[in-house]
């Protein structure tokens, strides 16, 4: 019946609206440091089967096919693409990009489990500790790394070794090592905003290690990882999604017109 057309097309419009929201979020974060774009996946809903495949006919022969009428679609999941973003040189010694697999591990100021981020725009707080650069929350890098007050130069090697040159000295002194974390299923991490992710049962336990060891990526000082959003591809997806939304709205209009015609039959 045309009444089913209304409900079926409405499910498509709802699913496409969610996809539009995902695309809009990708475009909004095209300049967000180390942002990873999302993708909406769809799945079809259950079917009205009349009859089922393999139903015996009048001659007791099994029918090769049945009659299945689908009842729409819905969003199956939104997956995150952790593909490496481009690198931007900043010439700032506390900017550090991860080339390859891994996340920075930072402390949760509320006392909760550690948080994780790909954004390496680091700063030094009032106590001399390295923190993720933020104007609202001070999140310490874990394990903590303290920078002496008289440090005149900070060096971060590709292996994560942090060393400083202090006033009156010519040699560098090691003050700590940046530790990375990785997950067997990074798509299972919970997005918290502020470039932060948290561990879940779906992501698995964090695997800790040093850069360039056991499959971890390396670090690049004075560089930042850019968003991996491709604006041209997102605009193409935006146009195709908009057209698909319009097609579903046309199906709603067609169902409405049929219902109107049926309601007006008594006039003929």
Task: Say if residues 206 and 185 touch (Cβ distance below 8 Å).
Answer: no
- Per-residue pLDDT band for 267 (boundaries 50, 70, 90) equals low
Model pLDDT for residues 162-220, shown as the tens digit of each residue: 999 998 888 999 999 999 999 999 999 999 999 999 999 999 999 999 999 989 999 99
CA distance 38 to 41: 10
Region 88-111 average pLDDT: 94
Sign of the Cα pseudo-torsion (220, 226, 232, 236, in order): positive
Whether the predicted pLDDT of 2 surpasses 70: no
User: Burial, 249: exposed, middle or buried (Cβ in 10 Å; 0-12, 13-18, 19+)?
Assistant: middle
Which contacts (CB < 8 Å, 24+ apart) does range 107-113 have?
107/139, 107/140, 107/141, 107/142, 108/139, 109/137, 109/138, 109/139, 113/198, 113/199
User: So what's the pLDDT on residue 60?
Assistant: 81
| Helix, strand, or coil (residue 95) | strand
Whether the predicted pLDDT of 268 surpasses 70: no
Whether the predicted pLDDT of 116 surpasses 90: yes
Whether the predicted pLDDT of 145 surpasses 90: yes
> Half-sphere exposure of residue 137, counting CA atoms within 13 Å on the CB side?
13
Q: Where are the domains of the chain?
A: 2-82+229-267, 90-225
User: So what's the pLDDT on residue 70?
Assistant: 87
User: So what's the pLDDT on residue 25?
Assistant: 97
Whether the predicted pLDDT of 235 surpasses 60: yes
Whether pTM exceeds 0.85: yes
User: So what's the pLDDT on residue 261?
Assistant: 85
Whether the predicted pLDDT of 26 surpasses 70: yes
Whether the predicted pLDDT of 58 surpasses 90: no
């Amino acid at each position: 019946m045309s009444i089913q057309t209304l409900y079926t097309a409405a499910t498509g419009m709802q699913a496409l609206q969610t996809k539009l929201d995902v695309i809009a979020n990708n475009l909004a974060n095209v300049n967000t440091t180390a942002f990873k774009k999302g993708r909406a996946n769809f799945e079809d809903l259950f079917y009205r089967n009349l009859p089922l495949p393999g139903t015996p006919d009048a001659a007791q022969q099994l029918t090769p096919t049945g009659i299945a009428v689908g009842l729409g679609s819905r969003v199956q999941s939104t997956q995150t693409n952790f593909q490496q973003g481009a690198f931007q040189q900043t010439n700032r010694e506390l900017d550090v990009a991860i080339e390859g697999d891994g996340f920075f591990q930072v402390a949760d100021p509320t006392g909760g489990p550690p948080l994780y981020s790909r954004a390496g725009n680091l700063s030094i707080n009032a106590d001399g500790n390295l923190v993720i650069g933020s104007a609202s929350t001070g999140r310490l890098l874990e394990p903590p790394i303290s920078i002496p007050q008289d440090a005149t130069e900070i060096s971060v090697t590709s292996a994560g070794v942090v060393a400083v040159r202090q006033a009156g000295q010519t040699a560098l002194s090691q003050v700590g090592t940046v530790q990375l974390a990785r997950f067997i299923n990074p798509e299972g991490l919970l997005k918290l905003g502020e470039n932060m992710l948290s561990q879940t049962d779906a992501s698995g336990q964090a695997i800790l290690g040093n850069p360039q060891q056991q499959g971890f990526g390396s670090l690049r000082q004075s560089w930042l990882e850019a968003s991996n959003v491709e604006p041209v591809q997102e605009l193409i997806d935006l146009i195709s999604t908009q057209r698909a939304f319009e097609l579903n709205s046309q199906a709603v209009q067609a169902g409405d017109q049929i219902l109107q015609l049926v309601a007006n039959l008594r006039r003929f």
